[in-house]
Amino acid sequence: MNATTHTVPRSERAGRPADTSRGPARTRGRRADLRAWGAFGLLTAPMLIGLGVFKYVAIGWSFLLSLSDAQGTIGLGDWVGLDNYRQLFGDAVFRTSLVKILLFTLFIVPVTFAASLGLALLVHRIRRGRAALRTAFLIPTAVSYVAASLLWKMSLFSGMPAGIANMIGGWFGMESVPWLQTTSPPLYWIVLVTLRLWLQVGFFMVLFLAGLQAIPAELYEAAALDGATGLRLLRRITLPMLRNTSVAVLMLLFIAAFQAFDEFYNLFGSGLSGSGTAPVKTPLMYLYDTAMSTQNYGLGSAGAFVLTALIVGVTLLQGRITGFGRSEE
């Protein structure tokens, strides 16, 4: 009878485990991970330090300033608690600025939304020259608000007979009107709305175009076989499929409206609009005058947090109403 020969590995005869390479391999892997994390920390440290110091530390310091009497200095003064906030809401100018910006927001947001969506639908239907039209409408977004405001103020709506708006009105027998002065009705709202539309419509049109191009063509083909056309397609397919894009556009429009400053300041701050007293002042204009002109940094910081709370509250309310962030299920 032949016995089966069984060869015992040398490593087992020596009393050692068969695989001796796992230990050094694991050590090398740990060293590689440490080097990778070290390189990551070295490359991101300048950005993280700058972000922490110039954003989060600055926000915390500004909140402390809003609770102290800080005039003429950004150093913490005497602790006054909520007195700055009480003084802020006790100022009729600040309350008026909140009312004005709310009215401006309630008007400019739906108008810009409708104009952007309408232009996107028109451009999307065009087969030839779509890129040229998209570029033409997008160019105004590259213009600064300051430059556009000065163009509107000194050329289009200067209030002089040679101004473009008054010149066109003169062709139809209209008299020259002071567009940027407090009149009845307040014509300066036309200047503000047309300026904001010219600057923003192209950008949001491109967002809607991206949403329209993401809608599968098969949906329209199936609906066409069922006899759906025109407004029915818009109501049943286009608008529901643009829901996420529409919610994002609304959120951006609300935030941009509450942060309005450049056009208001350059149109009404000085010059042709009068003696420098703005007929409509936004909260940011009030904060600029308070923090920069009078150097009351405590009161200015309080106003900044009130405006931030207003923007966050409106954004959360809009998200709650539109269901932003909820799953489709």
Tell me what pLDDT residue 196 has: 92
DSSP 207-250: HHHHHHHTS-HHHHHHHHHTT--THHHIIIIIHHHTHHHHHHHH
- Give tens-digit pLDDT for 217-235: 777 777 777 766 767 777 8
- Give tens-digit pLDDT for 67-115: 888 777 777 777 888 888 998 888 888 888 888 888 889 999 999 999 9
Q: What is the mean pLDDT for each group of 10 consecutive residues in the chain (329 residues)?
A: 51 51 66 80 87 87 86 76 87 86 90 92 83 86 89 85 83 82 74 91 91 82 72 80 89 90 79 46 82 80 88 85 61
User: Does the predicted TM-score (pTM) go above 0.95?
Assistant: no
- CATH architecture, range 83-322: Orthogonal Bundle (1.10)
Q: Exposure string (b/e) for 23-52, b if CB count within 10 Å is 16 or more?
A: eeeeeeeeeeeeeeeeeeeeeeeeeeeeee
Single-letter residue type at 285: M
| Alpha-carbon span 116 to 75, nearest angstrom | 46
Tell me what pLDDT residue 276 has: 43
Long-range contacts of 161-167 (CB under 8 A, 24+ apart): none
Domain boundaries, the chain: 83-322
